[in-house]
Amino acid sequence: MKQPIEGLHHVTAIARDPQANVDFYTGILGLRLVKKTVNFDDPGTYHFYYGDEQGTPGTILTFFPWPGARLGTHGAGQATATAFSVPEGSLGWWAERLDRLGVDAEAPRLRPGFDEEVIRLRDPDGLALELVARAGDTREPWTGGPVPAAQAIRGFDGVTLTAWNPEVTTAVLRDAMGFRPIGEGKDRFRFAVGDGGPGTRVDVVARPDAPRGHVAAGTVHHVAFRLPDDATQVAWHEELAGEGFRVSPVLDRQYFRSVYFRERGGVLFELATDPPGFARDEPVAGLGGSLRLPPWLEPDRARIEEILPKVEVREVPVPRGGAQ
């Protein structure tokens, strides 16, 4: 029997400089680099995964860093914000930290129509992120980085999709994917699955005059949703194909298995399995510590390591003029 989608699995975006990407997500936001591998379709490019200690689905933001890539356009048919959940009362601490470290961030503010306080910020490539203050998010944060547990990111809060006509995308979420409406602001329509808590929500914002989003550096490539197992994935594949979506074959991504389809508003979606997870090829204590390759690329390891630029997880220096 087909089990429901359980929430967000991961979000994949495109970056430029790999070291700047590692510095920002580990050294400033305090996520853990849980896997350092390559783009299986382009093994001369890294694929970085950031998340909590184990890379639990619902905490994972991933990047393909292409040095020198041009910047994309934020717009319709795209995931235009990725939101992380942080503890209630921590946004003042975050605002001070982001300012001190020279991050492009707005002051905390209430989201119109919703009872939630948000900091909007951008990563070094202009990718739009949000920190949302949430009471009662019981997920354990990664505390091996520079951010203390009292303020640390718990995982995703949700994503925002931008649409020319929100009804097209909301119909896909509601009728094909089992999401239900849980809130509505002026031009923002909120959906969720499961318990509706952090990591289960998708917002669709109406922007009839927005440009069409163009995927390149600083934009989201796709949004992946959680499925519990392979049998459920096969059932979803059949159902979505039966509803007219062009669904990819099941692809082995080593740490999960994936199918992809484009929702009718243009955003690339993926359905990814929880198993086997990131500990399949290195112990939890050492996640992200060395370059991992799938078996079919191991024979090319020496050449791949020569091509890839060196990166390290390191303490991020306070920018000159940024410190008080």
Closest CB to Zn ion among residues 49, 94: 49
Lookup: tokens for 221: 């490539």
Closest CB to Zn ion among residues 62, 80: 62
Write down the least CB distance from residue 256 to Zn ion, Å: 8
Write down the least CB distance from residue 74 to Zn ion, Å: 20
Write down the least CB distance from residue 258 to Zn ion, Å: 6
Write down the least CB distance from residue 151 to Zn ion, Å: 28
Tell me if the bond preceding 4 is cis, omega within 30° of 0: no
Q: What is the DSSP string of 90-121?
A: -HHHHHHHHHHTT-EEPPPEEPTTSS-EEEEE
Write down the least CB distance from residue 271 to Zn ion, Å: 10
Sequence-distant (6+) residues with CB within 8 A of 155 are: 51, 52, 56, 58, 59, 84, 85, 137, 139, 198, 199
Closest CB to Zn ion among residues 105, 272: 272
* The dihedral sign for the CA sequence 310, 312, 317, 319: positive
Closest CB to Zn ion among residues 147, 220: 220
Closest CB to Zn ion among residues 137, 270: 270
Q: Which residues bind Zn ion (CB under 5 A)?
A: 12, 224, 270
Closest CB to Zn ion among residues 174, 253: 253
Write down the least CB distance from residue 99 to Zn ion, Å: 32
Closest CB to Zn ion among residues 7, 87: 7
Write down the least CB distance from residue 260 to Zn ion, Å: 8
Q: Where are the alpha helices (DSSP H) in the chain?
A: 18-22, 91-100, 166-171, 230-242, 301-307
- The terminus-to-terminus CA distance of the chain in angstroms comes to 58
By DSSP bridging, strand 201-206 and strand 188-192 are: antiparallel
